[in-house]
């Protein structure tokens, strides 16, 4: 399958998880592109909404979106990106977030739910989701589980 992993990442956590997902899915024989969403003026600030790089989701059969949690929510940059996407009808979509706090209920679940809501508005449901808690001792396990869940 043609898979697009599309992430926003300011300090590299989300990107590093995305890279591991890419490696795992490539190993399974899929064609995988990892693309970045960025904000104008290289700010990527919480208020950042104007997009500089907004990858085209159209070519992909499967999309995996990744984002950091900002202020207990989906990062404003990823929110702006996902909101401007055309219909995702017929596409298989996965979503994940990374956050610094140790538990998913500290904003991660909320952020993933925001992603799922946008996907639903765009006409698709999410087949797999995950929260990676960067300061949790079990972070590595969380990443392994996420990769398993998203390994199609």
Ligand X SMILES: Cc1cc2nc3c(=O)[nH]c(=O)nc-3n(C[C@H](O)[C@H](O)[C@H](O)COP(=O)(O)O)c2cc1C
Least Å distance between CB 123 and ligand X? 27
Check residue 127 for interaction with ligand X (CB under 6 A): no
* 60: three-class secondary structure by DSSP: coil
Tell which positions 49-108 bind ligand X, by CB under 6 A: 68-72, 98-101, 106-107
Instruction: Return the sign of the alpha-carbon dihedral for residues 77, 83, 88, 93.
Output: positive
DSSP string for 112-147: HHHHHHHHHHTT--EEEEEEEETTSTTHHHHHHHHH
- Measured from the CB atom, the residue of 9 and 38 that comes closer to ligand X is 9
Tell which positions 30-49 bind ligand X, by CB under 6 A: 46
Check residue 134 for interaction with ligand X (CB under 6 A): yes
Binding site for ligand X (CB under 6 A): 9-15, 46, 68-72, 98-101, 106-107, 134
């Amino acid at each position: 399958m043609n898979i697009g992993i599309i992430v926003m990442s300011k300090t590299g956590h989300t990107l590093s998880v995305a890279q591991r997902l890419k490696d795992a899915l490539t190993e399974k024989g899929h064609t995988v592109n990892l693309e970045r969403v960025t904000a104008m003026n290289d700010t990527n600030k919480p208020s950042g909404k104007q997009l500089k790089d907004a990858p085209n989701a159209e070519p992909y059969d499967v999309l995996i979106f990744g984002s950091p949690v900002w202020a207990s929510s989906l990062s404003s940059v990823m929110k702006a990106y996902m909101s401007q996407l055309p219909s995702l009808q017929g596409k298989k979509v996965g979503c994940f977030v990374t956050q610094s706090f140790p538990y998913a209920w500290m904003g991660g679940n909320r952020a993933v739910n925001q992603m799922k809501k946008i996907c639903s508005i765009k006409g698709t449901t999410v087949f797999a989701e995950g929260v990676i808690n960067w300061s949790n001792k079990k972070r590595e396990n969380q990443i392994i589980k996420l990769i398993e869940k998203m390994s199609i």
